[in-house]
Amino acid sequence: MSDSDTRDPTSLRTPIVAVLGHVDHGKTSLLDKIRGSAVIEGEAGAITQHIGATAVPLDVISSIAGELVDPDDFDLPGLLFIDTPGHHSFTTLRSRGGALADIAILVVDVNDGFQPQTLEALDILQRSQTPFIVAANKIDTVPGWNANEDSPINATYEAQSDRVRSRLDESLYEIIGNLSDEEFSADLYWRVQNFQRNVGVVPVSAMTGEGVPDLLAVMMGLSQRYMKEEMEIDVTGPGVGTVLEVKDEKGFGKTIDIVLYDGTIRADDTIVVGGTNETIVTDVRALLQPRPLAEIRTESRFEKVDEVPAAAGIKVAAPDLGEAIAGAPVRIVRDRELEDVIEEVEAELASIAVDTEEEGVVVKADTLGSLEAMADALEEAEVPIVRAEVGDIAPRDVSVASTADDTKQQAILGFNVDVLDDAEQRAEIEDVRVFSDEVIYQLIDEYEEFVDELERAQQDTILENIIRPARFRILPDHTFRQNDPAVVGVEVNSGTIQNNTNVVKFDGNEPERVGQIKGIQEQGEDVDEARAGNRVSVAIDGPTVGRQIEEDDELWTEIPEKHGKILEQELASEIPGDELEALNMYLDKQRSRDPFWGK
């Protein structure tokens, strides 16, 4: 056992830091630099490698940051970095209804500026109300840069030539401008007075360590000033945490990697975990953490520990964890009533349950938090959801999607998940569209493009089968045959005349059918239709010129009432302006005798 029972039960925990940003902008390099700097400073023993996280204590931060961080000014014990930065969805992992991370670093490449995942990360930070700072990374790649390893940014900035400083300033102000476009007030960190209202931008290099002292100083300053009260926890109390990942571990079976943000977890505790079908109640078999400074993503040798206080990342081995969900709450029972703890977990799960409807798309995501972010974004886009779950896209998801009545909803949207092979094959057979992306808004854009295409195709099909409006006039001295059929020259005034459509002539507002178009010729060639402005000869089966029709008569294509309604209510934006004009004139005539015609 550790000495946690002898400590003051109220203690300040380490703030949890998430690192976000577009792929290749240097998230992992930045974390590696912070860890590496600690090793160079001879502080390797002080760094604790957790599961899915790295704890950097205050004295290590002080030794890296130099005069920028005086340990006497701080009560907080240091920073806990979530070190699997490839999954930017970690900021949507929740802790009691908020984001799991207390604070975040958004990494932006000074050369590339804002990219899709940068915008995605900002959206997540805004939704979860997580305070953040921007690390403007790769300053060492500015042409002509003269590196000063591990130095604070002001010292290295002043040492550069005017031209280099000017180039860097240009990139930094572009990033500040991008932030402004996304409605964040931002400036270079040394100009920011209030970090709650303004985002600080810290120029850094993950390669040379320049600006890293400033980054750590700002993170500590922000945490100390604005989060001290939130960091107060009862260290000896029963632990509270969030599942990061569910993993198979050799010798232990299914395990959960968790971030503990309150209390303590012990090797003999009973835990309650959110599960796919029902809440899991199980007993801890082992608490596992990597050996010192081992890299968790490649290191499989763990050591067992008796207990772990917050904040920490730890692997929990216990029976029945196969159904645990990434992003779900974890609660330690200890001296509380089991039913009360189960109720707590279920209430938290219910608070992030996605509202589903009778009809809609199927949604899959990697964690509960990102599932919730997806649901919010789809609600904004007015896309209904029929099923929403954590996990890879499986055949049963295809089965659900395939039963939708509306073709637009025969779709699955997967965020940050894999598509299982048999699901992919099934989707092809069932004609279910699968959309998969690591950026939420791109995923929704792709789906909306598909819907637009589908609607266009459907409207084209309807238009093909609908009788189009047209107004045309028989030209004087253009009777080529009087009857059986009558062949006359006409000018199309508006709309489109088509073969095999009925023709009417209005007597006042009373329509009278005079025959049917049985052929259209333009300059001696047979055509299927003629548009406004064209002069063509038409064969009209039924009338005789001089009796039912006369030269100079205005004739109309007869539009069935149902077609008039569809044209007006569904296709008005799809037909040309002159055709719409012909339709409106036709409707006016019909409605002057029957006000409800075509409504």
CA distance 48 to 211: 23
Residue 240 among known ligand-binding residues: no
Residue 421 among known ligand-binding residues: no
Q: What is the dihedral of CA 501, 502, 506, 509, to 10 degrees?
A: -90
CA distance 128 to 506: 65
CA distance 7 to 133: 33
Residue 277 among known ligand-binding residues: no
Helix H or strand E segment including 264 = strand 264-266
Residue 85 among known ligand-binding residues: yes
Residue 42 among known ligand-binding residues: no
Residue 109 among known ligand-binding residues: no
Q: How many helices (H) and strands (E) does the chain have?
A: 13, 34
Residue 26 among known ligand-binding residues: yes
Q: How far apart are the first and last CA of the chain?
A: 80
Residue 140 among known ligand-binding residues: yes
Residue 589 among known ligand-binding residues: no
Report the length, in residues, of the chain.
599
Residue 478 among known ligand-binding residues: no
- Cβ of 322: how many Cβ atoms within 10 Å? 12
Residue 23 among known ligand-binding residues: yes
Question: What's the Cα-to-Cα distance from 454 to each of 398, 429, 463, rounded to whole Å?
Answer: 19, 19, 14
Residue 84 among known ligand-binding residues: yes
Which residues lie below 8 Å from residue 301, measured CB to CB, with a gap of 6+? 290, 291, 294
Burial (CB count within 10 angstroms: exposed 0-12, middle 13-18, buried 19+), residue 521:
middle
Cβ(453)–Cβ(433) under 8 Å?
no
- Residue 137 tokens, joined: 């990374």
What are the start-end ranges of the E strands in 111-181? 132-137
Residue 86 among known ligand-binding residues: yes
Cβ(237)–Cβ(264) under 8 Å?
yes
Q: Which of 368, 273, 259, 366 is nearest to 318 (CA)?
A: 273
- Residue 240 tokens, joined: 């509270």
Residue 137 among known ligand-binding residues: yes
CA distance 589 to 592: 5
DSSP state of 90: G
Sign of CA dihedral 306, 309, 315, 317: positive
At position 575, the amino acid (one-letter code) is: I
Residue 366 among known ligand-binding residues: no
| Residues placed in the known binding site | 21-28, 83-87, 137-140
| Residues placed in the known binding site for GTP | 21-28, 83-87, 137-140
